[in-house]
């Protein structure tokens, strides 16, 4: 009788856990993008310059980069349930403080609290998912949970635009609180509490790696906000030097924060490099396209949000198709072909001229949403396909840090290319729309080239994740 009850509890946990993770991912992804369309309104209300408001975004990104590496250790020591609930609570409290902020200093402090919660939320929830589901069921569960990562960046500018226009900027933060309460209540009942019997925290490794993440994140923000290249390159090089120092440390340490033998696992290595390379290409599209609609076509933030919104709908169709596609074609072929298609679609964004209706972007961006969905699920699942149990905490944390930095690099790269073309008046014929078109071509071509990374996969890689469904 007890055995049947335990089995029922496990099955219930398997049904609810992906929903819990999806809720936390949605909160984080929505919050990361919703602020972009609201900065001007917040700056006006707080009597600040919109340019100074970038610190409210930077503080959040830096906090994520700083604390993500410690998520695996905290989960092993205190348990996934306690840490995840603490992360949700902290993120919700930070959101409340953001809405109550009376000046920029208060807002930055509140964003740091949010960032600490966000840095633990997704990695810990994902770790619980990995340890709960057998390999053959993991792809399906992760496929469901990852959809908010596609919807959040699309809905963020749209929701932010409406809230600022019809309510007030305070609501872009208050919207997180009901999601946080739902997540906490579900976690109290259904979140499993995994711990590790062997805990030895690599403090020196954490400080070195956190410094590297911090410097790299700062360089990303500087790329988009300064015309002086020398200081940016110095910060960037300092970040890479810290990474090299971490490598030297990990070679000699008995229990490093991220063991180097993680990279002996081919699927993990390809997943990490592939994530970094492909996101460098397509991460900037959800930002560049709405920006072009507003600047070149003179449309409102709400209109630009609606142009990009179909990505969320087609992502759902991609979610329902990805398992069948991976089961039929395997990871190697799927990722190589899918990356090529995404690159071609990004290049296709350069086809409509300024005299063409901007609604021509809707079918292109809709198809792009479908293939993006396949890409995210495939890359995330192959990265952890062959990790051993003792590697799941550190491997999962490193995947999360890598994704965060890759998205940042992608956005910074897209904006940098746009600025270069924008400055070449002869090339763009003094037409800003042409600068966006050339940027789409560069970013699309880079995405096509990044697909070569997945040639390192073998045809049978990921077979242990395939299900009979």
DSSP sequence for 47-87: T--TTTTHHHHHHHHHHHHHHGGGHHHHHHHH-HHHHHHHH
Q: Could you give the C-alpha distances from 226 to 78, 223, 270, 420, in angstroms and in order?
A: 42, 6, 33, 13
Q: Could you give the C-alpha distances from 46 to 93, 101, 114, in angstroms and in order?
A: 20, 9, 19
Query: What's the pLDDT band for 420 if we cut at 50, 70, 90?
Result: confident
Least trusted range by pLDDT, from 162-166, 258-262, 284-288: 162-166
CATH for the stretch 260-469: 1.20.1250.20
Please tell me which residue, 352 or 278, carries the higher pLDDT value.
Answer: 278
Mean pLDDT of the chain: 79
Q: Give pTM, 2 decimals.
A: 0.77
% of the chain beyond a pLDDT of 90? 9
Task: Write down the pLDDT at residue 2.
Answer: 53
Please tell me which residue, 148 or 431, carries the higher pLDDT value.
Answer: 431
Instruction: Specify the CATH class of 1-201 in words.
Output: mainly alpha
Task: Write down the pLDDT at residue 148.
Answer: 65
pLDDT at 377 over 50: yes
CA distance 404 to 295: 27
% of the chain beyond a pLDDT of 70? 83
The label of the residue with tokens 């960037």 reads 236
CA distance 242 to 221: 18
Please tell me which residue, 56 or 449, carries the higher pLDDT value.
Answer: 449
pLDDT at 468 over 70: no
Task: Write down the pLDDT at residue 123.
Answer: 83
Whose CA is closest to 304, among 163, 162, 147?
162
pLDDT at 247 over 60: yes
For the chain, how many helices (H) and strands (E)?
A: 20, 0
Task: Write down the pLDDT at residue 8.
Answer: 65
Task: Write down the pLDDT at residue 50.
Answer: 59
The sign one gets for the Cα dihedral 118, 290, 275, 415 is negative
- Residue 269 token pair: 């290595």
Query: What's the pLDDT band for 33 if we cut at 50, 70, 90?
Result: low
Please tell me which residue, 196 or 204, carries the higher pLDDT value.
Answer: 204
CATH 1.20.1250.20 in the chain, residues?
1-201, 260-469
DSSP secondary structure letter of residue 37: T
- Residue 419 token pair: 């600025």
**Highest mean pLDDT pick, 39-48, 166-175, 259-268, 446-455:** 446-455
Q: What is the mean pLDDT of residues 223-241?
A: 76
**Highest mean pLDDT pick, 77-86, 317-326, 357-366:** 77-86
Q: What is the mean pLDDT of residues 409-414?
A: 78
Query: What's the pLDDT band for 93 if we cut at 50, 70, 90?
Result: very high
Task: Write down the pLDDT at residue 221.
Answer: 67
Task: Write down the pLDDT at residue 469.
Answer: 42
Whose CA is closest to 385, among 257, 267, 228?
267
CA distance 105 to 12: 44
- pLDDT tens-digit readout, 115-135: 899 888 888 888 888 778 777
């Amino acid at each position: 009788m007890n055995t049947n009850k335990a089995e029922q509890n496990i099955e219930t946990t398997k049904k609810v856990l992906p929903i819990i993770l999806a809720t936390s991912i949605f909160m984080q992804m929505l919050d990361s993008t919703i602020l972009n369309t609201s900065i001007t309104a917040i700056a006006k209300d707080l009597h600040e310059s919109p340019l100074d408001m970038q610190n409210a975004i930077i503080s959040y990104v830096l906090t994520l980069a700083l604390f993500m590496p410690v998520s695996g250790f905290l989960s092993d020591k205190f348990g996934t349930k306690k840490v995840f609930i603490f992360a949700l609570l902290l993120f919700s409290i930070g959101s409340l403080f953001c809405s109550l902020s009376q000046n920029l200093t208060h807002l930055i402090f509140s964003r740091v609290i949010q960032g600490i919660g966000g840095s633990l939320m997704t990695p810990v929830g994902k770790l619980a998912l990995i340890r709960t589901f057998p390999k053959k069921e993991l792809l399906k569960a992760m496929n469901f949970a990852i959809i908010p990562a596609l919807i959040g960046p699309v809905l963020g500018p749209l929701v932010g635009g409406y809230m600022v226009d019809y309510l007030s900027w305070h609501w872009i933060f208050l919207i997180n609180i009901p999601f946080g309460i739902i997540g906490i209540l579900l976690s109290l009942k259904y979140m499993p509490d995994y711990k590790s019997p062997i805990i030895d925290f690599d403090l020196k490794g954490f400080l070195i790696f956190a410094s590297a993440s911090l410097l790299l994140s700062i360089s990303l923000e500087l790329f988009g906000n300064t015309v002086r290249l020398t200081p940016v390159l110095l910060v960037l090089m300092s970040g890479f030097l810290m990474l090299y120092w971490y490598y030297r440390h990990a070679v000699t340490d008995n229990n490093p924060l991220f063991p180097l033998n993680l990279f002996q696992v081919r699927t993990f290595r390809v997943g990490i490099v592939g994530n970094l390379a492909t996101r460098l290409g397509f991460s900037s599209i959800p930002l560049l396209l709405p920006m072009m609609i507003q600047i070149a076509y003179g449309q409102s933030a709400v209109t630009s949000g609606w142009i990009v919104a179909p990505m969320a709908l087609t992502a759902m169709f991609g979610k329902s198709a990805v398992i069948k596609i991976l089961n039929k074609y395997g990871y190697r072929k799927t990722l190589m072909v899918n990356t090529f298609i995404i690159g071609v679609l990004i290049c296709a964004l350069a086809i409509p001229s300024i005299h063409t209706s901007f609604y021509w972007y809707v079918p292109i961006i809709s198809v792009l949403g479908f293939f993006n969905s396949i890409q995210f699920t495939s890359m995330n699942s192959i990265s952890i396909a062959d990790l051993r149990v003792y590697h799941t905490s550190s491997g999962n944390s490193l995947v999360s840090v890598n994704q965060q930095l890759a998205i940042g690099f992608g956005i910074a790269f897209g904006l940098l290319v746009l600025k270069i073309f924008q400055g070449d008046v002869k090339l763009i014929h003094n037409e800003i729309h042409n600068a966006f078109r050339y940027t789409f071509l560069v970013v699309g071509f880079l995405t096509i080239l990044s697909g070569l990374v997945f040639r390192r996969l073998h045809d049978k890689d990921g077979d242990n994740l395939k299900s009979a469904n």
